[in-house]
Structure 1
């Protein structure tokens, strides 16, 4: 395990842990089980971030990445946690004996439509940018969207991201829908604008209604019935907001041929509703140098610290190491001769 116990852990999952490295930077590291895997989701996430870093123009709606490798990823810190965390505070749920939340009882408060409009604009903008790079996210969920200090949505967690046209294996109802006909019948199909817009529709439903589709009648506890309803296009009634409801329905019925048109249409329809974003400029070079300084200071252990030292220092370390190795061999040889 990478030794960063002294740093604050701000998130943990099955594949990786996230630590706060300083006031503006997070470091994401794979856990032990993921490190043992060859082509792991973590290394795929690093690959996607490096693809983004290779672009001249960045998307402000994707969390900023400073350095990405198969061993660690440095990201911009978003101080307002995840969107899922924000919505959880609006809900009343049963509590298990172990203190963990269970099924939904009620929604105590609904989000401001102006913020919802801004967030769905930012989400679809990020997805359209990914599509331009030839990728799909494949794991849209409020827990995978961060909120910065100005409550801008930043899409994150790209460990399930793939190039367009791969089998969708990371989502199920209500975030995806199985095909009912054709050669891919009874699968969720290939990753594409169809799968991404369906998930975007469920995402917007969750923001507008305060819970996932059919969670109010606890169908998450009956996945067979939930799957049956979705396959029959028996979706929840939409009656809270005309513009949002129309967009949700369009996404669920695969109206848009690509994510660029999804982003364009929702921006056009919500331009008079959305609160304007206030994006804070990030000095990418300054933050990248700060990440390198953290590595050189031993944040991720001595091996990573050495690999980010200047060339002369690494060369000197190698020479000294070789000297001590030869000295040890000579000492052992002399000891053997004297014993004889």
Structure 2
């Protein structure tokens, strides 16, 4: 999916008591199947799929040439398309109003999303809505094309991201959300599936289907979003009748904490095979930063995650405070170091061109000495994070505790089973990280007599 795919509406559920069946139904992932009965459609032999009839979308076909399908939603399809006049590629989200019994509501939701996209337009890390067309049965949203797809799929390929890459991506995400929040808008569906990557691997925040423009001091109460990324206050207001505080933009900050946690270690913080346990973990803020995969991660990202995943929204960081966190200040050091290296390189080439031949001042030696000093400073700064030598004894008892072996294990698991990972909670990537033996089985194994070697 290379463009905003999901087009949901708030579930609008208000629970008077803790009802497991109801909450499960409310949070069940939306089906990705395309309805079989489609009206006013024409056959696309190349893609073996269906396209809107040209009579039903004259304006769109006059300006764009639709190509292959990039992804599907419940009532929408995303296709690559080419603008005839310029030859530029775009992603067209084609929303079919004829298949939805509540097509009036769908149309209103689409108009609301378009309005919000235009309010937040112009930011480098937010998807650009290029064009809009509307007919009686279809709405066409033409977006910029992000050729590297979703962050979700990228993470499935690489399993985890380094602190440096996580810092690079999360800084862009926070800057996009800061822009959204300054417009008095709450996104309500921040997750890797809704973060696209362009050809330069820059972030593009997308899918504003759940977004809302907030009035001054307004609080929301609808239950909407994706289960694993829901903030505690969203669940509480829909589960407990005595909780009536509502929620606001703080829910986006919580979701960013979940995304950042997932990028660093590959699995989300609250996932559990039993969804009710997962929801309870979210409401209690129950997660771990002490498992083996966290041992090689520095304190700065851990501290930021702790301050993002705070159950009380009033004590949670704001987006501006998150950007001021020391984790992102390291980025300034890396940028300055990069510029310093460029300056040294430029100075070296300039010196070689002038053929400076003074015996008292040797530019090349001074340059080399400068580089060695820079390297020494960098190594000293990173010394406390340098991993210990590989221990055979530890590897035999708990190989997953050793970073190099852990990367091999995770890479093999995702190489073999990566295709199994889906966007729904039923096939969550976290299941591939469940590598701890059950206590009972382990105790039986240890208690059983071992054969003589």
What TM-score range do you get, normalising by the shorter chain?
A: 0.5 to 0.7
* Match of residue 131 from structure 1: 181
Q: 2:144 aligns with which of 72, 76, 80?
A: 76
Matches of 2:244 and 2:225, distance apart in 1 = 8
CA contact (8 A) 2:237 2:244 kept: no
Matches of 1:78 and 1:271, distance apart in 2 = 27
Matches of 1:211 and 1:20, distance apart in 2 = 31
Distance 1:181 1:39, change over 3 A: closer
Structure 2 unaligned residues grouped into runs of 5+: 1-39, 43-49, 52-65, 83-87, 338-453
Within-5 A mapping of 1:12-161: 12-22=72-82, 23-31=88-96, 32-34=98-100, 36-40=102-106, 41-53=109-121, 58-68=122-132, 71-90=139-158, 109-161=159-211
Within-5 A mapping of 1:1-340: 5=51, 7-22=67-82, 23-31=88-96, 32-34=98-100, 36-40=102-106, 41-53=109-121, 58-68=122-132, 71-90=139-158, 109-164=159-214, 165-171=219-225, 173-179=227-233, 186=240, 190-215=246-271, 219=272, 221-237=273-289, 239=294, 240-253=297-310, 254=313, 255-256=315-316, 258-265=318-325, 267-268=328-329, 270-272=331-333
Give 3-state SS (helix, strand or coil) of 1:61's partner.
coil
Structure 1 unaligned residues grouped into runs of 5+: 91-108, 277-340
Matches of 1:202 and 1:88, distance apart in 2 = 16
Give 3-state SS (helix, strand or coil) of 2:70's partner.
strand
Q: Which consecutive aligned stretches of 4+ in structure 1 deviate over 6 angstroms post-superposition?
A: 180-185
Larger radius of gyration: 2
Matches of 1:206 and 1:44, distance apart in 2 = 30
Matches of 2:232 and 2:189, distance apart in 1 = 16
Deviations 1:280-322 (A, max 9, x none): xxxxxxxxxxxxxxxxxxxxxxxxxxxxxxxxxxxxxxxxxxx
- What is the aligned residue count? 250
Deviations 1:49-69 (A, max 9, x none): 22234xxxx210101221245
Matches of 1:234 and 1:180, distance apart in 2 = 16
Distance 1:111 1:136, change over 3 A: same
CA contact (8 A) 2:185 2:249 kept: no
Distance 1:64 1:176, change over 3 A: same
Which of 137-146 and 265-274 deviates more? 265-274
Question: TM-score, normalised to structure 2's length?
Answer: 0.49
> Which one has the bigger helix percentage?
2
Matches of 2:144 and 2:236, distance apart in 1 = 43
Distance 1:252 1:160, change over 3 A: same
Matches of 1:206 and 1:275, distance apart in 2 = 28
Distance 1:203 1:180, change over 3 A: closer
